[in-house]
Structure 1
């Protein structure tokens, strides 16, 4: 994990030590009327940080609608799944644009920067998922983004919206600020662990579904290619996250340890244990060939 924090600046969403300080120049101990609120809000409407905030709000809203309609309508849920991915993509583009402005073009477009910067990693993931969303929906894929967006929205709201909200007393604003600070401090670490677990679950889900690629090769060649690309990219993504995130590494190592313990418990037939060992070795060798 890098030292970037989960705050209201356009910083990487995956590096998320809680920032509970108020960065706004307006104290929560002030009250405003609606006209003053609009005057104070207007300068912020043109800042990259505000559009970044709107992108995260849109991520949460579209994800909620997608999850709701996933029980009733495939067409509607798929539409809002795309909208959620578009919102996610927009937040990363804003972050990377800010990074680009503060660095030179050579260092920004350096291959090492692409592989080491988690903003590029998550942007590439969301872009591919959006491009294939007409053919394949990644079950559970939005959950980590929902977690990250929740904390970003809370911090931006606390630092920049809450201090200028009308119809609230200073005491009420302080109470809300303290509640948000408590929530972020309490659940920040757990949210990173949860996100890592969800990403490992997506990997497991893709691995379980990978044999379908053979079926698709015979029945729907294009869908087979899409599944192969999605699997390869996510494996590469998880390799980078394993190397860079202690949460991903801990979750993945713990999952493999439990699986190894189960396979070696004596309750599994020997031929399955041998098949598992051979498959694990082949997968490890294959992942090692990924050039980063």
Structure 2
């Protein structure tokens, strides 16, 4: 696979607020040779794993308030950046971004790292991709911590999402930091800068532009068949421990979407509601992480 990609300069990530985690890189991921993927890997290598998957247009930095809680519990935290985001390489052509391009890269990453006893931690595209994967590795995944996300099964997700999709389509060079601030008013200037850091200019924003267009809103879109199988897995075959948290102020993937997902997931208990929490609910994540660790008995 030869894909032209851009690489955000390392100096863009200097002195990130509340982010002390050393970067790790893979540049020989099977099927993705030549593209460099960034990931965080902290804690004991033989401990239960919290696999933290970010969404659009964020990166692993989104989990900085939850990672310390997982580590304090003695667990391992692995948090990759999808291609096109964070410190990972960013394919230059918008058409390189497809659902299975990213899903298969996530599968390749899990296999490359040989992750076991995994808690899938997901929100937004972290779930749109991540929730489709455990059915392929039922022996690797033992827990689920799910927040403000869903499975794309070819249905209209509602006016909130469509407004977002239209906004990106008509504003392809929007400022990521400004968007994060509007969605998450509790951020300060340094945190906003950290979210903007991966994108020195709009040429780096292929993934940001493409991800909203990849959400499966009609039955003929790529990935619907995969996600229908995943929905069946979560509803009938999932036997792990689950925890759900909902950012109640999310206009896109808020309470209605999450209540539907709760009903789908076998054995999913009553969700934790974060009343002030927006779409990027990890920014209110410390109490979520503590409650999940307690629920899981870790």
The normalised TM-score by structure 2 is 0.27
Higher relative contact order (CA 8 A, sep 6+): 1
The normalised TM-score by structure 1 is 0.28
Say which structure is richer in strand: 2
Say which structure is richer in helix: 1
Larger-gyration structure (1/2): 1
